[in-house]
Amino acid sequence: MFDREKAMWDLRNQLATSDALSGDDLLELEGHLLDELDALALRGLSEEEAFLIAARRLGEPSAIAREYAKGHPIRTWRAPLFWSSAGAVLVLAGMALINSAMILTFSLGSRFNMNFALMNVLVWAEAFAAPAAFLAIAALYVRARPASVPPARIWVPIVVAAALVIVGEPWVNPLLLAQTHIAKHVWVTLNTTCRFSAGASLVLYASVAAWIMVRLRAPATQAVVE
Amino acid sequence: MHKTLSSDPIPKDLVAASATPLVLSILAKGESYGYAIIARVKELSDGKLEWTDGMLYPILHRLEEQGLIRATWRNAENGRRRRYYSLVAAGKKALATQRAQWDLVSAVLATSWEQAHV
* pLDDT grade for A31, boundaries at 50, 70 and 90: very high
pLDDT greater than 90 at residue A4: no
Residue type present at position A131: P
CB neighbours of A144 closer than 8 A, spacing ≥ 6?
A: none
What's the mean pLDDT when you consider all of chain A?
72
Contacts within 8 Å (CB) and 24+ apart, B60-65:
B60/B23, B60/B34, B60/B85, B61/A25, B61/A68, B61/A71, B62/A71, B63/B20, B63/B23, B63/B24, B63/B91, B65/A71
Predicted pLDDT of residue A43:
93
Q: Closest to A28 (Cβ–Cβ): which among B52, B62, B83?
A: B83
CATH number of B2-116: 1.10.10.10
Q: Closest to B54 (Cβ–Cβ): which among A27, A59, A70?
A: A59
- Name the residue of chain A whose CA is nearest to B37's CA: A32
pLDDT greater than 70 at residue B94: yes
Predicted pLDDT of residue B9:
79
pLDDT greater than 60 at residue B43: yes
pLDDT greater than 80 at residue B13: yes
In chain A, residues 54-93 whose CB comes closer than 8 Å to chain B: 57-59, 63-64, 67-68, 70-71
CB burial string A67-88: b at 16+ within 10 A, e below: bbbebbeebbbebbbebbeebb
Query: What ipTM was estimated for this complex?
Result: 0.85
Domain ranges of chain B: 2-116
Q: For an interface test with B, which of A24, A35, A42 has the most B Cβ atoms less than 10 Å from its Cβ?
A: A35
Could you report the per-residue pLDDT of A125-175, keeping only the tens digit for each? 666 776 777 778 888 777 777 666 666 677 777 777 777 666 655 444 555
- Among A74, A90, A218, residue whose Cα is nearest residue A145: A218
A48 touches chain B (CB under 8 A): no
Average pLDDT value for residue range A62-75: 80
